[in-house]
Amino acid sequence: MLELIIVGAGPAGITAGVYAARKRMDFLVISGDIGGQTAWSGDVENYTGYQFVTGPELAAKFEEHMRRYRIDVREGELVRELSRSQDAVTLTTDKARYEARTAIIASGKRSRELGVPGEKEFKNKGLTYCATCDGPLFSGKDVAVIGGGNSALDATLQLMNIARRVHVINAASALTGDAVMREKAEAAGNVAILNGSSVTQVYGEKMVQGLEISRGGKKERLAVQGIFVEIGLIPNSEFAQGVARNEYGEIKVNSRNETSMEGVFAAGDVTDVPEKQIIIAAGEGSKAALSAFRYLAQHKF
């Protein structure tokens, strides 16, 4: 019987782990990967202490900090179910079953898919969800970025220095990301912004050759060799069926990071805390760990 199990190893989960280790708690971390969305981010200019750092560099710093405490991390293991009975929280993964007095859900979010014909067929064959990971593969080529928020603009700013031409396919009537990012994208000579456009199909042979879009009631084809899908994220909360969630699937938490299930806390992008930022997720992770520690101190087992 552990004192704590942390689900996820992004900014929230890693920070929770560091705080739990410093409190000498008996715990482990379960996560499909290390770094979460941070590892997929481009340039980070708003994380205190770093005037400029790339997402992968910051994720590496997080992991280095966590490894220093020799935390037990079950990487590559996915949680399938979370439940509570009497004084224990039970987590069932694709590999094992664990019990603990408390749990912190910091499982983050995943990329939302387009859901159009050709998407699954051309995934990793020219269609990707990570400009940081795959952008360099499209040097000198024509590409399309799907979306109009900060994620899409981040991808656009990376790709405009790599690709020959970047087409931004935005369903809304205008870009919705941060003003500075919008201005940089709009000022670039090799970026074409197509507002009021939606993707209806991805086509190609062995690799992506283009996509079909609907704009102004008409369909047209756009020849590109790369497609970057940046239309938002979905909370990884399906395994927590007994925990209250909002209409977006985000786990509801209070100011102490408590969920509707006793002894279960949540932190980071998987929660309904407004503004999905790396620094906010890290702060919420520390709060969740301190709340779990306080819960254990106040209960007899």
Residues designated as active site: 130, 133-134
Q: Sheet containing 226-229: which strands, arranged edge to edge? A: 127-128, 226-229, 142-146, 165-170, 191-195
Q: How far is CA 77 from CA 95, 103, 107, 113, in A?
A: 7, 16, 12, 23
List 197's β-bridge partners, or say none: 215
* Helices 55-68, 11-22: inter-axial angle, 10-degree rounding: 20
For tokens 């497609």, the residue is 227
Helix (H) or strand (E) holding 16: helix 11-22
Q: Name the residue with tokens 């930022």.
A: 277
Of 280, 44, 275, nearest in space to 157 by CA: 44
End-to-end CA distance of the chain: 11
